[in-house]
Amino acid sequence: MQSHERCEAPLASWSVQNEVHALLFCQDHRVCELRKHFPFLFAPFFEDFSAAQPFLLQQVNNQPVHDFLSQQNNRLFLLLSELMDFFVAGRDQSAADQPNNLAEGHPPL
């Protein structure tokens, strides 16, 4: 996969390209395909999502985004992990690949 430095979506020119953009507005076909795998996560919070249009066209306030991220569904973490993998692909991962003691419950060195 290629890194996703700057979104080329038509709405990208007026929207801030942050986490909410990546989660809800990005129209990159790979991100849309990922959202299509998890429609059940979006449906309760964003009525405009569908298989035909797996992105939002209108800005949303913070409450539905907060509710979406607060839902009690283990699959949400898989979606977020896959999104992170896409957006950081191609960047320098050397620091992230270094071993640390966090898995053993020890603070970082």
- Is the residue at 98 inside a domain? no
Q: Please compute the mean of the pLDDT values over residues 38-48 and round it to a whole number.
A: 91
- Is the residue at 81 inside a domain? yes
The number of folded domains in the chain is 1
Distance CA 42, CA 23 (A): 10
Q: What is the pTM of this model?
A: 0.67
pLDDT per residue over 70-105, tens digit each?
A: 999 999 999 999 998 887 775 555 545 555 555 555
Q: Which residues contact 6 (CB under 8 A, 6 or more apart)?
A: 12, 17
- Is the residue at 3 inside a domain? no
Provide, for the chain, the percentages of residues in helix, strand and coil under a 3-state DSSP scheme, each rounded to the nearest 5: 50, 0, 50
Report the candidate in 74, 66, 73 with the shortest Cα–Cα distance to residue 24: 66
pLDDT reported for residue 12: 47
